[in-house]
Structure 1
Amino acid sequence: MAYEHGEDKGPMGEEAHGDGSHDHGALIDLSSLTEAPTVSVTAVADGAGGAILEFAVTGLELVSADPPAGHRPGQGHLHVAVDGNVVAMTAETRYPVTGLRNGHHEVAVTLSANDHRNYGLHGEAIGATTTIMVTGGDDLVTPDLSFLVEVADGTVVGGVPRFEVSVGDLVRVTVTSDVGDEVHLHVYDLVVMVDASTPAVLDLEATVPGVFEAELHHAGFRVFELLVS
């Protein structure tokens, strides 16, 4: 089945939505297509704590993720993550990243629809990964406080914790999960991917006082609270 741009229905018979609403849940499965979209990524370190990322995309018209739009078959953009942290939602095929610490970093890119759902094949998101060695950046900093959260069977093991830290603390929260999702810490606006084999590691400097919730974005429930005072 060919993938026709501008159709009113997707390859699985879904309607194209034009109201700008977002459903970040299930994949848009393209397994029935004879030629599904593809993406690849290359990364070249710049020697100054950053890298230039270049993406090659076939079978998908890249359109801006801003302003938000409803799903239209054949259109979408790229979700780009470094070490599990989403750094860009872009329609550009060349993207610079800066401020990386020295050492190895994993870059991942996925094809996403206008409404931010991932395009997929046979239950897996269409994407690509590569690894870069960064030099010329900052050395790894040891956090002042570290915390661990475990999610299993749709709940937080032991209940939703509240972690208390002070303004200026360097904080690391590691979240493990038996299902794939995104951990989103509000206000600090950290979004980190997690799955059964790779924990989400949230590193931050506690600069804003208050109580902030972190949630599993797709599942829609809290995984911890951060109290900064």
Structure 2
Amino acid sequence: MPSLQWFLDHLAQEWAVIQGAPALAAAYALMATFVIWLIQRWAFGTVITHKDGKIAHLEERLKMRDDQLTNKLQSTPPGEAQELIRTLQTQIDAMKPRRLTDTQKASIARTAIARGGGSYSLTIIRDMASADSGAYANDLIHAFGNLQGWTISSGAAIGPGRTAPCGLGLCVHNRSNLNPGERIIFDILQSAEIDFEMIELVHPDADVGLMISAKL
């Protein structure tokens, strides 16, 4: 392939000819530009055609998967089909980021007002390795803000040692003998139907602790 220096040398040699016939040189330049544009258009069109083919193939695979699921549901007895739908819905829900529902927030607020009083501290710790722990922790912090007399704090950790498999642990001194502060948080979580587990882990800076981690 000719080098850049070859083109420069050739241009220098032909410069006198170009100066003598500028119209012809301009025509050649225009023709070269047009040829380059055609080559680029062809190359770009080939890439687009290839991508369109891949998209069409993926769409066809999705359609086949939908048809297979539809056929399976149609050929399955109603009771089994409903169970299959519930299983699929559970799997989909498990992949969604954890957030408190409006119903759970309202329940926490009601129970917090009813069970408020005293002077306790609650710290909410989230595992930074859990992608949805930040938003979930913020929901809990704002919801528990209605606890009169309580001090609410938060923090973050990377890979805490002890966590609850369900993703939310209530840290207690003794699961068989909850102290008053632990009992209040236990009742609030239970009344709001929030999935949690007790773990015997004393937080040094608070009366009660909540540990948010990834669901196992």
TM-score class normalised by the smaller sequence: under 0.3
Between structures 1 and 2, the one with greater helix share: 2
Structure of larger gyration radius: 2
What is the TM-score when the length of structure 1 is the normalising length?
Answer: 0.21
Query: Which of the pair has the greater relative contact order for Cα pairs under 8 Å at 6+ separation?
Result: 2
What is the TM-score when the length of structure 2 is the normalising length?
Answer: 0.22
